[in-house]
Structure 1
Amino acid sequence: MYAVLGDELPYIEKFAAVTGQQITKLTDYLSLDNVQLAKGYDAVVTQQTFDIPDAVYARLAEFGIKQITLRQVGYDILNIQAIHKAGLRASNVAAYSPRAIAEYTLTQLMNLIRHNKKYYRTTTAGDWTWKVGGQAKEIHELTVAVIGAGRIGSALAEMLHALGAKVLAVDPVYHAQNEAFLDYVSLDEALKEADVISFHTPLNDQTRGMANDAFFKKIQKKAYILNFARGPLIETEALLKNLRSDKLAGAALDVLPNENDFMNRVQDPKTVPADVQELMAMDNVLLSPHVAFYSDLAIKNMVEISLKDAVALAQGERIENEIFY
């Protein structure tokens, strides 16, 4: 089991005790440099944002391993075609806690519209005055476009609807039950009407870089952008251009295209990429270290579901979370 974090240990140890499985815990991400450590095992589980080289799959197959399992939702780090070519099967944890991410998205939206970053900065500097332009919008006044109305997007939509917001959804897959709390519309309609645009869509060839210059030209002035899905959905320079010009009212980002350069480590803020430094300096931009998922329930489910599925795949069984393409 690669890339194990301390908060996962109790759940890993409990699974091993209950099932009798031998689980070796490694702290490094799975890579070509350490794939040999999987030799002699029946299954591999990892969690990471770094791409896994195709050569890793071939090595796993050489070791007699029949699968690779991610304990996360996003699987854009995998080359599914190369995995199948190597004779392996793959799986992810498609839903470990949609509410965790939805709740965090809602939290950051509230922080944005209440200007909490600016007020925290000024009050800690001794300035307790109200600011012109610092008054808040209220949730029930907003129209929110949810780009991707799957488990996470629909959970957020339901919360927003309960608070009185109008919710628009853009998704190629229609779920009739969602009509109780959202309206399905085209992307152009959503961008034209939305005060808030929140991304909850997978990263693929169609969605990579979808928030580009052309995208931002279609949005309302003073809209908010939220990304709690995948960093490369948004072109950072296009985002910055619209923040600098005040076309955007603000942004909350839990993911960034270049996050592997600095995420999950401690470093001097001046050493992170220049575009990230610029975002950090803005009062109307909230950055967080890819933690929207990070709840007790999510960690428990990620560990237990991934280990259960890894064992099942290794034994040649069918599972709900298998990735086919």
Structure 2
Amino acid sequence: MKILMYNTVLKELPFVKDWAAKTGHEVVNLFEPLSVDNAAKAESFDAISTQQTTAMPAPIYKILANSGIKQIALRQVGYDVFDLPAAFANKIRLSNVAAYSPRAIAEYTLTQLFNILRNSKKFDRAMATGDYTWDAGGQAREIYQLTVAVIGVGRIGSAFAQMLHALGAKVLGVDPLYHAQNEAFLEYTTLDDALSRANVISFHTPLNDETRELADQSFFDKIQPGTIMLNMARGEIVDMAALEAALSSGQLYGAAFDVTPNENEFMNQKHELSELPENIQRLTKLDNFYLSPHIAFYTNTAIKNMVEIALNDAVVLANDGFTENEILR
């Protein structure tokens, strides 16, 4: 089988090579995301895979169907980049990698929580000017003193909750789906109750109609003053204007984001600081805001699993088989 892999990154290439050698399938790499302009390049292939944060609009699926492609295997968790009605209308089957390494994102979320608690950004900036005093950053809190609301208790949220519990934090879980095994390390509750009790709020939900701008101004009005917010999920979950106001007023003690609604304008690119979106320029100047370039997933284990699972699913779907990773209507 011949597979076209869109938006390949260099770190994926060794795992692609190993998978091709192990399975006997041919993989051709294209270093740009799937788009209307390049969808027709799939014409001579049996299956395709991509990973990207840019949307795949409706015309793509018709082009793929006309080229004989029956599926798209996504090498990531979030599948809000698909136009689901258009894909299904053109009989294109879709899959994602729902669990390439939940621990990777959970560990990074914990890392950023510790950075906020220990005032790392303030100390780093002070030391860069020669100020090595304790007061430069301020006194820290310890994690066992915290109550953490984990909004979205799927694979990643559960992994994060287990880590927090092991460190002594009180963990509240907010999720429409109940999993009894999670009772060992968290307390399920409502969103309003969690917001009223939590010192830390961490998002681990997919982006959909229920979660888009979930954290709007009314959401921020319900949180405790001095709360910490973590978002390694999707930028559109949070109203960024409300976030900025909460950081400036002290309603939020700090926040760490790996995603933003406008990340396609600047992430995974090099810029002059003055070329960044204006809100990003303002936010990154704040001592209590941490922004990273959508790298929470970026570990060797995660990249290997993303490649292998997606390529295996590409073969299965192209051969009219079934995979647990298929995105259904």
Does residue 298 of structure 2 align to residue 267 of structure 1? no
Letter in 2 for 1:264: N
Look up the match of 1:86. 90
- Map 1:132-147 to 2 at 5 A: 134-147=138-151
Look up the match of 1:212. 216
Contact in 2 for aligned 1:80/1:324 (Cα 8 Å): no
TM-superposed CA distance for 1:127, in Å, is: 0.4
Q: 1:191 aligned to 188, 195, 217, which one?
A: 195
1:261-319 deviation per Cα after TM superposition (whole angstroms, max 9, x unaligned): 10110001111111111110001111000000000000000000000000000000010
Contact in 2 for aligned 1:313/1:319 (Cα 8 Å): yes
- Map 1:174-253 to 2 at 5 A: 174-253=178-257
Letter in 2 for 1:159: M
Look up the match of 2:35. 31
1:124-165 deviation per Cα after TM superposition (whole angstroms, max 9, x unaligned): 110011117710010000000000000000000000000000
Does residue 176 of structure 2 align to residue 172 of structure 1? yes
Look up the match of 2:57. 53
Look up the match of 2:157. 153
Query: Quick one: distance in 2 between partners of 1:150 and 1:233?
Result: 16
Letter in 2 for 1:11: F
Query: Quick one: distance in 1 between partners of 2:197 and 2:136?
Result: 26
Does residue 314 of structure 2 align to residue 307 of structure 1? no
Does residue 328 of structure 2 align to residue 320 of structure 1? no
Letter in 1 for 2:289: V
Alignment root-mean-square deviation, CA: 0.8
Q: 1:12 aligned to 8, 12, 16, which one?
A: 16
Does residue 106 of structure 2 align to residue 102 of structure 1? yes
1:211-233 deviation per Cα after TM superposition (whole angstroms, max 9, x unaligned): 01000000000000000000000
The DSSP-based 3-state class of the residue aligned with 1:50 is coil
Does residue 53 of structure 2 align to residue 72 of structure 1? no
Query: Quick one: distance in 2 between partners of 1:15 and 1:65?
Result: 21
The 1:35–1:132 alpha-carbon spacing in structure 2 relative to 1, beyond 3 Å, is closer
Contact in 1 for aligned 2:120/2:137 (Cα 8 Å): no
Letter in 2 for 1:315: N
The DSSP-based 3-state class of the residue aligned with 1:112 is helix
Query: Quick one: distance in 2 between partners of 1:270 and 1:248?
Result: 26
Query: Quick one: distance in 1 between partners of 2:239 and 2:281?
Result: 16
The DSSP-based 3-state class of the residue aligned with 1:33 is coil
- Kindly tell me the number of residue pairs found equivalent between the two proteins: 325
TM-superposed CA distance for 1:37, in Å, is: 1.0
Contact in 2 for aligned 1:32/1:53 (Cα 8 Å): yes
TM-superposed CA distance for 1:34, in Å, is: 0.8
Query: Quick one: distance in 1 between partners of 2:211 and 2:28?
Result: 36
Contact in 2 for aligned 1:146/1:167 (Cα 8 Å): yes
Letter in 1 for 2:158: S
Percentage of identical aligned residues: 57
Query: Quick one: distance in 1 between partners of 2:319 and 2:169?
Result: 47
Q: 2:122 aligned to 118, 121, 143, which one?
A: 118
Contact in 1 for aligned 2:126/2:136 (Cα 8 Å): no
TM-score by length of 2: 0.98
TM-superposed CA distance for 1:236, in Å, is: 0.3
Question: Deviation above 3 Å: which 4+ runs of structure 1?
Answer: none
Query: Quick one: distance in 1 between partners of 2:108 and 2:133?
Result: 28
The DSSP-based 3-state class of the residue aligned with 2:261 is coil
